[in-house]
Amino acid sequence: MNFQDWWKLFQEQILNTSLIEWFALAFGVSEVLLAKRNSVWLYPTGIVSICLWMFLLLKVDLYAETLLNIYYLVMSIYGWAIWKTRAQDAENQVEWSDNKEITIAVLISTLGFLVLYLVLKNFTKSDVPIMDAFVSSTAWAGMWLLAKRKIENWIFLNISNIVAIPLLFHKKLPLMACLTTFLFIVAIFGFLDWKKIIDRKKIKLA
């Protein structure tokens, strides 16, 4: 497909986007913007978005992405519980991960990828098992780090995003691909904002 074909497809999807899809987009964008601001409200907003995306992803046979959203749902409830108990000390909770936490995040990504790839390859009709499994497993690690308010969550989530963008174009979902591109950019600023929080904390302690 050339650019004109993609543009035509994009326009068609805009025109044919259902109300559910628009709500999923709106809540998805709001979730990331709230995460960037280190706000606990990212979680209830995200839960709404997650449920809507699961419905949409199943329609295009992105099974690992659907599993990813089930995990998102669990981690959102977990993260919401943690963040609510520490709401009065939000900035002080933002930290760099220690070696143990990075190791756990890498293990989540690696083991998640292997399991998802084998499941997708052998038990589904997915035509992109490697990319689908990679997007999901790296995002799993990112969500775990986000729940713990670790700045590296933005790195893992953006590794997932940068692979998800061509995957969504491959699935002829340019609207979702554009949303993911936007989220990729927001995540960069999220990382920078959280780094400023950490730097301010260091200055206070100096």
Q: Is residue 120 part of a domain?
A: yes
Angstrom distance (rounded) from CA 169 to CA 151: 29
- pLDDT score for 59: 81
- pLDDT score for 87: 58
Regions of the chain where pLDDT drops below 50? none
- pLDDT score for 85: 79
Q: CB count, 10 Å around CB of 84?
A: 10
- pLDDT score for 117: 93
**Which residue range forms the structural domain that includes residue 145?**
18-205
Angstrom distance (rounded) from CA 134 to CA 131: 5
- pLDDT score for 157: 96
CB-based contact 46:102 (threshold 8 Å): no
How far is residue 28 from each of residues 5, 21, 144, 171, measured CA to CA in Å?
Answer: 27, 10, 18, 19
Helices (H), the chain: 3-16, 19-36, 42-59, 63-85, 90-93, 99-123, 129-147, 153-170, 174-205
Domain total in the chain: 1
pTM of the shown model: 0.84
Q: Is residue 201 part of a domain?
A: yes
Q: Is residue 9 part of a domain?
A: no
- pLDDT score for 171: 82
- pLDDT score for 101: 97
- pLDDT score for 166: 93
Residue with tokens 């964008």: 29
Q: Is residue 126 part of a domain?
A: yes
